[in-house]
């Protein structure tokens, strides 16, 4: 290693082998940061021996586009560096690297010039590794190579691992719900042809002590299934002769998953369809079967257990108690390392189950026929993205022709449901967006007219409504009413491009909390709002692009993944949108599960409380949010 020099000074001397004491000191500096903390001592020494120490005064340029092809990779030992992309500066395009950062990775790997100008913000000391040695080190060290190619993804994985460790002492689970079903279903399934007599089937089930028999064709493809419960309902109570082929009484079609699906997928499938067995296939052929008992063995507090407790609750008082299990279950999943997308999906599913049961109880009390109405979930619940600290946003669609006299008992029913949801831990919406409000309990035609007004006028209140109501999803009742409204709204938005531009301008009033040099800008208390300054930026953009391009899904992740290819965006870019959004969601969940869900600021986080990895990813997520907004500007501000 050569002594520290200025970039503008004489060319550095040939790398020299540093003394043992200097190597030890520098090694202690490196191991504080990723990827060096995962590298071997020999590989750390390789980096240190071949790196050159350099000093840059405040304002001095380290590298710029005019420098030509990148020849070295910089590691910041002390200080900070800001990057600016010319005219992008005018749109807040600056970004910042801090102590422990490596840059410019992409340009060094691609063998090209940088696209930004990098300047020291303070007295800055760096270790500069020549690109040939960077390439050699990448061949020697897996962690180093993996970091160069998957920098943000690696940070996210390390953050998730740290979060999992932090919650492991509170876990109620013994195995992750992210386990692939191919690993879970290790035993070959017991199957039979459709022509097999019931007597033979039941004998086999009894002798093997299994809870179901899977029926397959000659190729091993699933045709149907018969469980112990089915035997009672379909055979014993129907007095079916035991000589009858199983094919005549089996349940079909059968719900299946592939070996690449996870235990979480199986748990959701069982909960949604009230089944206890899920056959696992590979290339269409059955390779195993997962039972409710298998999943229960993984989790002392299982999704099936919680959802069954909710479904069997006889009254609102019981639902209040059972609703507490949702948070306990979420904490257990967090300890397993379950990711934000799955966690919010599971929370939303359980909230759906609870609301559905509450609707059944109250409909019976008020004499309401649910099948004639459609209960809508709006906002985050409509997007299946509920966190722990969430209020209720809902509405009702009534069939056309409903009279005022017929509407009154429905409103009384809806108000009762809203109040019971409040008692169960879902606060009343402060804005009054609830089915018990006459403005949110309309016929299909009235809803069509309401959406048409919002789209055609585009006043500030109309745009605010769009951020809530346009994410509607049918939760219970006549789903066809919601489908008809969705088709009508989608067609109308396509006809009024002015409304999309107004939505974009409204979305751009939010901004990622980054200062002029690209660092995180917190408020006076040192905090940032992860919802309004973070996830809302992704949600708004996903909604806008989804409506513009006819994407039926209301889920933010699914919208972003669908519109990325339509917009001609590289997969790496729109996947970064998704990962940035999900990291912010995970941070919100972590705050709320730590006990702040009932606090006045359940989405605020103190920047100083973050560890080094999470702070870096947070900054990356905000940079991605800002880039997404810049795309909105290019597409809609003209």
Q: What is the pLDDT of residue 131?
A: 94
Cβ within 8 Å of residue 621, ≥6 positions away: 534, 579, 580, 581, 583, 584
Q: What is the pLDDT of residue 89?
A: 36
Q: What is the pLDDT of residue 173?
A: 36
How confident is the model over 597-635, as pLDDT tens digits?
A: 445 678 889 888 887 778 888 888 998 999 899 899 989
Region of 568 on the Ramachandran plot (φ > 0 left; ψ -120 to 50 alpha; else beta): left
Question: How far is the C-alpha of 313 from the C-alpha of 315, rounded, in Å?
Answer: 6
Helix axes 303-311, 316-336, angle to 10 degrees: 170
Helices (H), 51-180: 105-110, 131-140, 142-149, 151-167
Single out the residue of 343, 425, 366, 356 nearest to residue 392, CA to CA. Answer: 425
Helix axes 497-507, 612-636, angle to 10 degrees: 150
pLDDT of 1 over the 60 cut: no
Q: What is the pLDDT of residue 542?
A: 96
Single out the residue of 466, 451, 601 nearest to residue 526, CA to CA. Answer: 601
| DSSP state string for 531-553 | IIIIIHHHHHHHHHHHHHTT---
Question: How far is the C-alpha of 305 from the C-alpha of 313, rounded, in Å?
Answer: 12
Note whether 398 and 443 are within 8 A (CB).
Answer: yes
How confident is the model over 70-110, as pLDDT tens digits?
A: 999 999 999 989 887 643 333 345 677 888 889 988 788 87
Domains of the chain in sequence order: 2-149 (2.60.120.10), 181-298 (3.10.580.10), 506-636 (1.20.120)
pLDDT of 157 over the 60 cut: no
Exposure string of 40-79, with b = 16+ CB inside 10 Å and e = fewer, is eeebbbbbbebbbbbbbeeeeebbbeebeebebbbbbbeb
How confident is the model over 444-465, as pLDDT tens digits?
A: 999 999 999 999 987 888 888 8
Burial class (CB in 10 A: 0-12, 13-18, 19+), 399: middle
Note whether 468 and 378 are within 8 A (CB).
Answer: yes
Question: How far is the C-alpha of 4 from the C-alpha of 55, rounded, in Å?
Answer: 6
Q: What is the pLDDT of residue 632?
A: 92
Cβ within 8 Å of residue 287, ≥6 positions away: 182, 185, 188, 189, 259, 280, 281
pLDDT of 244 over the 60 cut: yes
Question: How far is the C-alpha of 446 from the C-alpha of 405, rounded, in Å?
Answer: 16
Question: How far is the C-alpha of 135 from the C-alpha of 145, rounded, in Å?
Answer: 9
Q: What is the pLDDT of residue 265?
A: 87
Question: How far is the C-alpha of 578 from the C-alpha of 511, rounded, in Å?
Answer: 18
Q: What is the pLDDT of residue 296?
A: 62
How confident is the model over 352-386, as pLDDT tens digits?
A: 999 999 999 999 999 999 999 999 999 998 998 88
Please, what is the average pLDDT of the chain?
A: 84
């Amino acid at each position: 290693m050569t002594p520290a020099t200025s970039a503008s000074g004489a060319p550095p001397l040939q790398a020299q082998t540093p003394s043992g004491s200097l190597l030890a000191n520098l090694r202690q500096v490196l191991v504080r940061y990723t990827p060096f903390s995962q590298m071997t001592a020999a590989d750390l020494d390789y980096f240190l021996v071949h790196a050159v120490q350099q000093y840059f005064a405040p304002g001095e340029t380290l590298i710029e586009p005019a420098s030509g092809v990148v020849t070295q990779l910089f590691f910041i030992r002390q200080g900070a560096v800001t990057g600016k992309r010319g005219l992008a500066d005018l749109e807040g395009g600056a970004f910042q690297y801090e102590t422990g950062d490596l840059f410019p990775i992409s340009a060094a790997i691609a063998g090209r010039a940088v696209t930004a100008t990098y300047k020291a913000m303070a007295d800055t000391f760096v270790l500069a590794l020549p690109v040939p040695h960077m390439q050699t080190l990448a061949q020697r060290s897996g962690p180093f190579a993996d970091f160069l190619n998957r920098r943000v993804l690696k940070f996210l994985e390390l953050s998730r691992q740290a979060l999992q460790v932090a919650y492991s002492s509170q876990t109620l689970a013994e195995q992750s719900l992210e386990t692939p079903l191919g690993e879970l279903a290790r035993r070959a399934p017991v199957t039979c042809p459709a022509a097999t007599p019931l007597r033979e089937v039941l004998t086999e089930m009894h002798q093997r002590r299994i809870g179901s028999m899977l029926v397959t064709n000659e190729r091993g493809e699933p045709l149907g299934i018969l469980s112990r419960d089915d035997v009672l309902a379909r055979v014993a109570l129907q007095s079916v002769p035991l000589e009858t082929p199983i094919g005549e009484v089996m349940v079909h079609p059968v719900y299946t998953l592939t070996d690449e699906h996870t235990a979480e997928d199986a748990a959701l499938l069982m909960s949604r369809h009230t089944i206890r067995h899920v056959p696992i296939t590979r290339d269409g052929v059955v390779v195993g079967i997962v039972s409710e008992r298998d999943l229960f063995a993984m989790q002392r507090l299982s999704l099936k257990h919680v959802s069954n407790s909710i479904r069997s609750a006889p009254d609102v008082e019981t639902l209040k108690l059972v609703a507490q299990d949702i948070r306990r279950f979420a904490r257990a999943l967090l300890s397993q390392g379950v990711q934000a997308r799955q966690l919010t999906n599971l929370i939303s599913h359980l909230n759906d189950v609870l609301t559905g049961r509450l609707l059944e109880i109250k409909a019976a009390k008020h004499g309401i026929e649910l099948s004639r109405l459609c209960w809508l979930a709006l906002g985050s619940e409509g997007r299946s993205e509920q966190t722990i600290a969430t209020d209720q946003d809902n509405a009702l669609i009534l069939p056309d022709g409903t009279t005022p006299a017929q509407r009154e008992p429905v409103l009384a029913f809806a108000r009762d449901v809203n109040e019971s949801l409040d008692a169960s831990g879902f606060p009343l919406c402060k804005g009054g967006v609830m089915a018990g409000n006459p403005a949110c309990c309309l016929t299909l035609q009235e809803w069509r007219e309401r959406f048409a007004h919002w789209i055609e006028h585009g006043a500030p209140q109309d745009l605010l409504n769009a951020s809530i109501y346009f994410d509607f999803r049918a939760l219970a009742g006549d789903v066809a009413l919601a489908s008809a409204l969705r088709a009508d709204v989608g067609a109308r938005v396509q006809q009024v491009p002015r409304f999309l531009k107004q939505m974009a301008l409204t979305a751009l009033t939010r901004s990622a909390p980054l200062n002029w040099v690209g660092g995180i800008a917190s408020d006076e208390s040192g905090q940032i709002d992860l919802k309004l300054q973070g996830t809302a930026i992704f949600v708004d953009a996903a909604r806008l692009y989804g409506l513009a391009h006819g994407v039926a899904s209301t889920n933010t992740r699914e919208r972003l993944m669908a519109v990325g290819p339509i917009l001609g965006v590289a997969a790496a870019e729109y996947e970064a949108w998704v990962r940035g959004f999900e990291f912010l969601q995970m941070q919100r969940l972590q705050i709320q599960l730590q006990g702040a869900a009932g606090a006045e600021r359940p989405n605020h986080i103190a920047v100083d409380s973050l560890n080094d990895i999470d702070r870096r990813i947070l900054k990356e997520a905000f940079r991605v949010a800002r880039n997404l907004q810049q795309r909105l500007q290019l597409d809609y501000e003209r």
